[in-house]
């Protein structure tokens, strides 16, 4: 048990002075899992970005702590893994080079070669490690994002549209990752697929009534 806790208080995020969501409050302790659900445009991706610290809230707070001690935003990079359709890979570099380069950007150092090998094998990309990512199928890119998200063994894993572009075997890989993460740390899944929401024990449902409806 690593004792990490996410505490969200009265969160609101506006775009163009209109709230996408507001009044979001919850606490999530490790081990634990949360589904963020709602229709297209309800604000799932926006909320998950705010929870990851990728964008700020308009008002309200997102706080992570371990055993009561706050985790600063800089330190959070070492705790957080993120998989999403809008995460970009470098097309002109190989799969392995992407993992090394993205790791340097994330944490200032490269993972051990055995760690890279283990994660690339986990997502079945080891035999394609020298190929440019620009030549990858969309499902292969999605698998590589999982390898990257897991390289530093994150205590908090956030997945936006977790199974997009994946085949049955890829979905099984993700389900195993999910099962392990929610026993070990915090798992947050943004989805409009009920079967994926059912992976999680808690839920925030965004009704889209924050005022974003046009
Ligand atoms: N950068 C932005 N600038 C302006 N509006 C934005 C921006 N990002 C998101 N929005 C708006 O915020 C609302 C929520 O978008 P968001 O992508 O969070 O929805 P979602 O629930 O993830 O939808 P989907 O199921 O289609 O992925 C939408 O009305 C969208 O137009
Ligand atoms: Mg989205």
Q: Ligand 1 centre and the CA of 150: distance in Å?
A: 26
The response to whether residue 40 sits with its C-beta less than 6 Å from ligand 1 reads: yes
The response to whether residue 45 sits with its C-beta less than 6 Å from ligand 1 reads: yes
For 18, the enclosing helix (H) or strand (E) is strand 18-29
CA atoms within 13 A on the CB side of 179: 6
pTM, entire model: 0.95
Look at residue 168 in the predicted model and tell me its pLDDT: 97
Beta strands 4-15; 18-29: pairing state: antiparallel
Look at residue 3 in the predicted model and tell me its pLDDT: 87
Are the C-beta atoms of 188 and 48 separated by less than 8 Å? yes
Look at residue 211 in the predicted model and tell me its pLDDT: 45
DSSP for residue 48: H
Residues with C-beta atoms within 5 A of ion ligand 2: 44-45
Instruction: Name the CA dihedral angle for 108, 115, 66, 173, rounded to a multiple of 10 degrees.
Output: 120
Q: What tens-digit pLDDT sequence spans the chain (214 residues)?
A: 458 999 999 999 999 999 999 999 999 999 999 999 999 999 999 999 999 999 999 999 999 999 999 998 889 999 999 999 999 999 999 999 999 999 999 999 999 999 999 999 999 999 999 999 999 999 999 999 999 999 999 999 999 999 999 999 999 999 999 999 999 999 999 999 999 999 999 999 999 765 443 3
- Rounded Cα distance between 82 and 90, Å, is 16
Q: What is the pLDDT of residues 29-62, one digit of tens each?
A: 999 999 999 999 999 999 999 999 999 999 999 9
The response to whether residue 212 sits with its C-beta less than 6 Å from ligand 1 reads: yes
- Rounded Cα distance between 37 and 138, Å, is 24
The response to whether residue 49 sits with its C-beta less than 6 Å from ligand 1 reads: no
DSSP letters for 120-181 = HHHTT-GGGTTSBGGGS-HHHHHHHHHHHHHTT--SEEEEESTTTT--HHHHHHHHHHHHHH
> Best mutation site among 11, 18, 20, 208 for ligand 1, i.e. most ligand atoms within 8 A of its Cβ?
20
The response to whether residue 20 sits with its C-beta less than 6 Å from ligand 1 reads: yes
């Amino acid at each position: 048990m690593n004792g990490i806790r996410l505490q969200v208080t009265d969160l609101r995020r506006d775009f163009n002075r209109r709230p996408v969501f507001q009044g979001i409050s919850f606490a999530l302790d490790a081990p634990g899992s949360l589904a963020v659900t709602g229709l297209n445009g309800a604000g799932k991706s926006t909320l998950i970005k705010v929870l990851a610290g990728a964008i700020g809230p308009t008002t309200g707070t997102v706080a992570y702590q371990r055993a009561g001690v706050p985790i600063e935003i800089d330190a959070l990079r070492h705790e957080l893994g993120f998989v999403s359709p809008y995460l970009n890979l470098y097309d002109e570099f190989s799969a392995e080079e992407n993992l090394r380069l993205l790791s340097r950007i994330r944490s200032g150092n490269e993972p051990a070669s055995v760690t890279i090998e283990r994660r690339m094998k986990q997502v079945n990309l080891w035999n394609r490690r020298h190929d440019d990512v620009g030549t990858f199928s969309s499902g292969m890119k999605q698998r590589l994002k999982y390898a990257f998200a897991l390289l530093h063994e994150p205590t908090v894993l956030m997945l936006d549209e977790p199974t997009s572009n994946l085949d049955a075997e890829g979905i099984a890989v993700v389900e195993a990752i999910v099962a392990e993460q929610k026993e070990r740390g915090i798992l947050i899944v943004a989805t409009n697929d009920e079967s994926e929401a059912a992976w999680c024990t808690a839920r925030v449902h965004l009704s889209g009534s924050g005022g974003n409806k046009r």
